[in-house]
Amino acid sequence: MGETRKKVEAELAAEARKFDKSNRGVHRFNPIWQTDDDPPFNWTTNFQLVASNLPMDDMRDALERVQAKFPKVDFPA
C-alpha cells in the first residue's frame, strides 16, 4: 500500500544533506509521523535549520517533493 517509514526518512535525510553541502549551517528533518489532516498524504514532519541563511521555503519545498514521491507510508497498527 505505502512506503516504509525508513525509506521516506532516508529520502528526507538526503534532501537535508544537499542543503548542508550547498549552504552554511545544519539542515535536518525530524522523524515523520502519521496524520490525517492532509488527505493526499498520510504523514508529515518538521524541520530544523541551525546557523543557516537558507529560506525556510526551500525546506518546505523539499518536504513537498518527498511527499509527492511517497504520499503514503505504512505505519504499524
Report, as an integer, the average pLDDT of 43-69: 96
The answer as to whether 74 is a domain residue is no
| Cα distance between residue 75 and residue 33, in whole Å | 8
The answer as to whether 61 is a domain residue is yes
The answer as to whether 16 is a domain residue is yes
What residues have CB less than 8 Å from 51, skipping those under 6 apart? 24, 25, 26
Farthest CA pair distance, the chain? 40
The answer as to whether 63 is a domain residue is yes
In total, how many domains does the chain have? Answer: 1
CA 32 remoteness from chain centre: 7
pLDDT of residue 76 exceeding 90: no
Domain containing 64: what range?
Answer: 5-69
- Quote the pTM value: 0.91
The answer as to whether 76 is a domain residue is no
